[in-house]
């Protein structure tokens, strides 16, 4: 893995944000070009009943999409109409999406873990004519949330819960000969926000928005000739949607994990070259590794602790562009023989980069994997920007930051510390919400809602969310996210929420990981207390956690604690656990 430590520079050719020339003008063009270029070569792979992988070539993809488009057109679907996809990632998902693009329609992905009220709000707000579902459970949720929307069975497993079947529609449809005329400024998708502070909003993304990101990311992180990807995050999540689109754009082969639970076995099996992850998935992988280590000998535990330290030290030196030196180089090679190569093997053995987004990445987590020879590149952005505003890339990584602004984009820091952005990937506005659009868009600049700073090197530091700032009784404004990330970095911890509005000091609600749940109360108390103390030592006194309480259950989407993207719904959690919070503040324990 010596290549990982080579000092390479990466030159960016910045483009004026108002004058961007794209290779393709629409997603329809991208799909047609890929289908025809790879007419006899498999593009999409899914697991068959016997456990092997079956492929769908470009010709099959296009033929099925044209037949489906003909059937949908016969049922009154017209250019500009919306169709929703409430299903797990699969080749059939993209058959339906291709058909929508051929008709000039607007795709509306729905989070596959959405409950009836969430799914119903998206379906009703978007005015979707059809919704495709892949299980009876999701069909029932769609019916309960929006009974007026026609349900299409994507997999043939929904029975009487759907009025139409994908296979029947493709079989009866007359293939669409002439696709609709679509323009780069047309809306390609309504991508709904996660709804941390209220109802989800439909983000209107145009063809130009997403194509700019696809081409920009392909230049920043150039693909290799035989790129292999695994699609598994919800396609309602803009990160996975953009990753899949980009893969289709540059000719990657795409494997669909059968389920979220089977992601790691799929990765080990197909051995991808690039991956997209949220920090929580990386944390789970690290937790699984540490759980195995804990079951082993004390010698093995000692080796693991030191190997992790060597990995993190080598990662920090690379960021600082310092030579490893004989001692660190020897330790890294030893760590590679004992640990790092096994971790890379867990991820298939040939991953050359992992793109991480959707939530804050702790510096320790980034150093953990990058130091083992798995480059981690963080992406910072929002649904409103088709994801990336900034990105880390080879020669431009500092895990304390979220990287540098993408070529063609501009970032500024407003007087109140808010990060504002403009660029070709900036959305048109919120669907049917002109007032809320006007609140975040002004003179071409988008108010992200995040607080941050730009350093002299061009790196962006994100310090918190404006709406999540805690104002203590002493009048101090504190961003909880960095504190929560630091506490959640421990293998015993799953989730953390910091509390302190109009209170004299900060406290925290903590939930446990699988490792934590298997510890005795005494071991848990000692380990957590020591960890919180170590976190506090690096914080100003006003930001230190004085007390915390371990909850018996985790925060979940089903319980209304989390958004479909696993973000904390702070008002709901605070109301739900108000009695626990009051108990923490009444506790006379030492401060």
Q: What is the pLDDT of residues 237-261, one digit of tens each?
A: 999 999 999 999 999 999 999 988 8
Q: What is the CA radius of gyration of the chain?
A: 24
Per-residue tokens: 209: 């928005």
Please say which residue of 465, 497, 523 terminates a domain. 465
Please give the pLDDT value at position 107: 98
Q: How does the average pLDDT of the chain come out, rounded?
A: 90
> pLDDT grade, residue 515 (50/70/90)?
confident
Please say which residue of 433, 465, 497 terminates a domain. 465
pLDDT at position 482 over 90 = no
Give pLDDT tens digits for 185-236. Answer: 999 999 999 776 668 899 999 999 999 999 999 888 988 889 999 999 999 9
Please give the pLDDT value at position 17: 39
Q: Burial, 554: exposed, middle or buried (Cβ in 10 Å; 0-12, 13-18, 19+)?
A: middle
Let me know whether 560 and 538 are in one domain: yes
Let me know whether 458 and 477 are in one domain: no
Give pLDDT tens digits for 99-128. Answer: 999 999 999 999 998 889 999 999 999 999
pLDDT at position 591 over 70 = no
CA dihedral of 196, 366, 370, 455, whole degrees rounded to 10: 100
- Residue 197 maps to a domain: no
Where is average pLDDT lowest: 53-67, 241-255, 421-435, 515-529? Answer: 515-529
Please give the pLDDT value at position 239: 93
Q: How far apart are CA 71 and CA 175, in angstroms?
A: 8
Please give the pLDDT value at position 49: 86
- How confident is the model over 431-459, as a mean pLDDT? 94
Is 384 in a helix, a strand, or coil?
A: helix
Give pLDDT tens digits for 60-114. Answer: 999 999 999 999 999 999 999 999 999 999 999 999 999 999 999 999 999 998 8
pLDDT at position 1 over 70 = no
Let me know whether 57 and 69 are in one domain: yes
The 3-state DSSP composition of the chain as helix, strand, coil percent (nearest 5) reads 40, 20, 35
Identify the bridge partners of residue 478 per DSSP, sorted by sequence position: 470
- Residue 192 maps to a domain: no
Let me know whether 303 and 245 are in one domain: no
Let me know whether 297 and 175 are in one domain: no
Which one, of 330, 391, 312, 327, lies nearest residue 356 by Cα?
391
> What are the phi and psi torsion angles at 571 (to 5°)?
-60, -40
Let me know whether 376 and 473 are in one domain: no
Most confident of 281-290, 412-421, 470-479, 508-517: 412-421
User: In the chain, how many domains are there?
Assistant: 3
pLDDT at position 19 over 70 = no
Let me know whether 42 and 168 are in one domain: yes
Where is average pLDDT lowest: 99-113, 447-461, 470-484? Answer: 470-484
Alpha helices in 473-586 (DSSP H): 480-488, 514-517, 521-537, 570-576, 578-586
Which one, of 30, 57, 59, lies nearest residue 41 by Cα?
57
Give pLDDT tens digits for 33-59. Answer: 999 999 999 999 999 989 899 999 999
Please say which residue of 201, 232, 261 terminates a domain. 261
Give pLDDT tens digits for 316-355. Answer: 998 888 999 999 999 999 999 999 999 999 999 999 999 9
pLDDT at position 6 over 80 = no
> pLDDT grade, residue 8 (50/70/90)?
very low
Let me know whether 225 and 237 are in one domain: yes
- How confident is the model over 266-284, as a mean pLDDT? 93
Q: How far apart are CA 72 and CA 67, in angstroms?
A: 9
Let me know whether 58 and 176 are in one domain: yes
Where is average pLDDT lowest: 118-132, 467-481, 520-534? Answer: 467-481
- Residue 4 maps to a domain: no
Question: What letter does residue 372 receive in the DSSP assignment?
Answer: T
> pLDDT grade, residue 12 (50/70/90)?
very low
Pairing of strands 164-165, 187-192: unpaired
pLDDT at position 467 over 90 = no
- Residue 154 maps to a domain: yes
Angle between helices 325-335 and 298-319 (to 10 degrees): 130
Let me know whether 293 and 360 are in one domain: yes
What's the CATH code of the domain at 47? Answer: 3.40.50.12780
Please give the pLDDT value at position 197: 60
Please give the pLDDT value at position 589: 62
- Residue 374 maps to a domain: yes
pTM: 0.87
What's the CATH code of the domain at 505? Answer: 3.30.300.30
- Residue 187 maps to a domain: no
- Residue 215 maps to a domain: no
What's the CATH code of the domain at 334? Answer: 2.30.38.10
Range of the domain at 304: 279-423+441-465
- Percent pLDDT > 70 in the chain is 95
pLDDT at position 421 over 80 = yes
- How many other β-carbons are positioned within 10 Å of the β-carbon of residue 338? 15
Laid out side by side, the sheet with 387-391 consists of 274-277, 353-356, 376-382, 387-391, 404-405
- How confident is the model over 271-282, as a mean pLDDT? 92
Let me know whether 318 and 450 are in one domain: yes
Higher pLDDT, 587 or 586: 586
CB 249 within 8 A of CB 331: no
Q: What is the largest CA-CA distance in the chain?
A: 75
> pLDDT grade, residue 7 (50/70/90)?
very low
Which one, of 230, 199, 241, 249, lies nearest residue 112 by Cα?
241
- Residue 19 maps to a domain: no
Question: Residue 533 contacts by C-beta under 8 Å, 6 or more apart in sequence?
Answer: none
pLDDT at position 15 over 80 = no
Let me know whether 418 and 498 are in one domain: no
CB 340 within 8 A of CB 259: no
Please give the pLDDT value at position 31: 98
- How confident is the model over 389-408, as a mean pLDDT? 93
- Burial 456-491, CB ≥16 within 10 A → b, else e: eeebbebebbbebbbebeeeeebbbbbbbbbbbbbb
């Amino acid at each position: 893995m010596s290549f990982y430590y080579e000092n390479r520079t990466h030159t960016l050719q910045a483009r004026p944000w108002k004058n961007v020339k794209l290779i393709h003008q629409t997603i329809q063009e991208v799909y047609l070009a890929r289908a025809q270029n790879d007419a006899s070569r498999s593009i999409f792979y899914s697991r068959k009943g016997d456990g092997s992988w079956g492929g769908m070539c470009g010709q099959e993809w296009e033929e099925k999409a044209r037949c489906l488009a003909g059937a949908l057109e016969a049922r009154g679907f017209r250019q500009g109409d919306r169709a929703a996809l409430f299903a797990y990632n699969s080749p059939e998902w993209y058959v339906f999406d291709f058909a929508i693009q051929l008709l000039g329609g607007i795709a509306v992905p729905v989070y596959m873990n959405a409950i009836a009220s969430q799914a119903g709000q998206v379906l009703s707000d978007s005015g979707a004519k059809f919704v495709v579902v892949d299980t009876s459970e999701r069909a029932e949720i769609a019916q309960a949330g929006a009974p007026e929307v026609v349900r299409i069975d994507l997999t043939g497993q929904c029975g009487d819960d759907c009025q139409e079947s994908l296979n029947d529609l493709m079989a009866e449809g007359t293939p669409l000969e002439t696709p609709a005329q679509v323009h780069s400024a047309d809306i390609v998708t309504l991508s709904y926000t996660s709804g941390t502070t209220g109802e989800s909003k439909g983000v209107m993304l145009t063809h130009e928005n997403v194509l700019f990101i696809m081409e920009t990311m392909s230049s920043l992180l150039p693909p290799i000739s035989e790129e292999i990807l695994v699609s598994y995050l919800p396609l309602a999540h803009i990160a996975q949607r953009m990753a899949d689109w980009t893969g289709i754009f540059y000719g990657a082969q795409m494997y669909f994990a059968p389920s979220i639970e089977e992601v790691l076995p799929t990765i080990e099996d197909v051995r991808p070259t690039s991956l997209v992850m949220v920090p929580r998935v990386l944390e789970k992988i690290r937790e699984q590794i540490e759980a195995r280590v804990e079951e082993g000998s004390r010698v093995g535990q000692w080796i693991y602790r030191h190997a992790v330290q060597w990995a993190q030290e080598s990662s920090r030196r690379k960021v600082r562009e310092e030579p490893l030196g004989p001692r660190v180089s020897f330790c890294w090679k030893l760590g590679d023989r004992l640990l790092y190569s096994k971790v890379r093997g867990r991820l298939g053995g040939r991953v050359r980069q992992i793109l991480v987004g959707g939530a804050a990445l702790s510096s320790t987590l980034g150093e953990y994997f990058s130091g083992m020879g798995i480059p981690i590149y963080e992406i910072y952005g929002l649904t409103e920007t088709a994801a990336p505003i900034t990105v880390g890339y080879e020669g431009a990584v500092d895990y304390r930051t979220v990287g540098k602004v993408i070529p063609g984009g501009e970032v500024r820091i407003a007087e109140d510390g808010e990060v504002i952005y403009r660029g070709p990937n900036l959305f048109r506005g919120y669907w049917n919400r002109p007032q809320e659009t006007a609140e975040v868009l002004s003179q071409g600049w988008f108010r992200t809602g995040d607080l941050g700073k730009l350093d002299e090197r061009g790196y962006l530091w994100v310090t918190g969310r404006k709406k999540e700032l805690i104002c203590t009784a002493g009048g101090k404004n504190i961003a909880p996210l960095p504190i929560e990330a630091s506490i959640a970095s421990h293998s015993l911890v799953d989730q953390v929420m910091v509390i302190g509005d109009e209170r004299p000091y900060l406290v925290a609600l903590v939930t446990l990981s699988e490792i934590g749940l298997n510890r005795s109360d005494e071991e848990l108390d000692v380990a957590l207390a020591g960890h919180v103390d170590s976190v506090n030592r690096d914080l100003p006194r006003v930001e230190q956690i004085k007390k915390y309480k371990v909850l018996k259950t985790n925060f979940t989407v089903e319980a209304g604690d989390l958004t479909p993207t696993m973000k904390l719904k702070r008002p709901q959690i605070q109301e739900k656990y108000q009695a626990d919070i009051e108990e923490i503040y009444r506790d006379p324990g030492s401060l």
